[in-house]
């Protein structure tokens, strides 16, 4: 199962990292992104009602992968898995997170920034290593890590955008995480779903084409 989930993550090439102010805004964002052909979503644990949202979205969108982000300890990891999260993402090293995820048939994307942290994540069996915050080192930092760990699957997150995503792929990213700027927030707040969908679909198509 973790391998299958990882394959689906890699196929989309970009994970929307949703950190919105309410469950309602998150539900609307996922609705629009799903209509724009996204099938992978990361709901951060800083989102109000995150656990209930994960369970509800998993039931509403059975064709999609619903993951939990900003998972900071194993207690939170267990709760996310119990609510249906299919992958766990952390901004840092969380000993035991990968083992918990794998026992539940889920994938693990622990965070790292230094070579030592990457090595530790790989030793624990990480499916993908999240490089965070990506903006602190930029594509050059990722390229240096990729040179040392050429077989690792890296997902830079934090400051990644439509404009700089190609540079991260050129540096060795297997996929990228993009935060709320994946959405037209003003249009979302006005309830202009068509505009949100159009922007998101354009971003997805551009990234898919430019990451090949």
Residue 56 reports pLDDT greater than 90 = yes
Model confidence over 107-132: pLDDT tens digits? 999 999 999 999 999 999 999 999 99
Percent of the chain scored above 90 by pLDDT? 95
Q: How confident is the model at residue 209 (pLDDT cuts 50, 70, 90)?
A: confident
Q: Which of 24, 130, 163, 192 is catalytic?
A: 130
Percent of the chain scored above 70 by pLDDT? 100
Catalytic (active site) residue 42: yes
Query: Mean pLDDT across the chain, nearest whole number?
Result: 96
Model confidence over 57-71: pLDDT tens digits? 999 999 999 999 999
Q: Which of 42, 117, 124, 192 is catalytic?
A: 42
Q: What is the reported pLDDT for 152?
A: 98
Residue 211 reports pLDDT greater than 80 = no
Q: What is the reported pLDDT for 78?
A: 98
Q: How confident is the model at residue 210 (pLDDT cuts 50, 70, 90)?
A: confident
The DSSP secondary structure of the chain, one letter per residue, reads: -HHHHHHHHHHH-EEEEE--SSHHHHHHHHHHHHHTT--EEEEETTSTTHHHHHHHHHHH-TTSEEEEE---SHHHHHHHHHTT-SEEE-SS--TTHHHHHHHTT-EEE-EE-SHHHHHHHHHTT-SSEEETTHHHHHHHHHHHHHHH-TTS-EEEBSS--TTTHHHHHHTT-S-EEE-GGGS-HHHHHHT-HHHHHHHHHHHHHHHHHHT-
Topology of 2-207 in CATH?
Answer: TIM Barrel (3.20.20)
The pTM of this model reads 0.96
Model confidence over 139-183: pLDDT tens digits? 999 999 999 999 999 999 999 999 999 999 999 999 999 998 899
């Amino acid at each position: 199962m973790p391998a299958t989930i990882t394959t689906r993550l890699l196929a989309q090439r970009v994970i929307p990292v949703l950190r919105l102010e309410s469950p309602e805004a998150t539900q609307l964002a996922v609705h629009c992104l799903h209509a724009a052909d996204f099938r992978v979503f990361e709901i951060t644990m800083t989102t109000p009602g995150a656990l209930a949202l994960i369970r509800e979205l998993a039931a509403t969108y059975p064709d999609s992968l619903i993951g939990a982000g900003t998972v900071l300890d194993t207690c939170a990891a267990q709760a996310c898995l119990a609510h249906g999260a299919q992958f766990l993402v952390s901004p840092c090293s969380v000993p035991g997170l990968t083992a918990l995820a794998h026992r539940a048939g889920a994938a693990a994307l622990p965070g790292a920034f230094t070579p030592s942290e990457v090595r530790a994540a790989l030793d624990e069996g990480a499916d993908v290593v999240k490089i965070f915050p990506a903006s602190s080192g930029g594509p050059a930092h990722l390229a240096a890590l990729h040179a040392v760990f050429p077989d690792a699957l890296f997902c830079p997150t934090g400051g990644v955008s439509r404009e700089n995503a190609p540079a991260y792929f050129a540096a060795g990213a297997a996929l990228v995480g993009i935060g709320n700027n994946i959405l037209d927030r003003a249009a979302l707040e006005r309830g202009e779903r068509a505009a949100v969908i159009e922007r998101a679909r354009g971003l997805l198509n551009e990234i898919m084409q430019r990451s090949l």
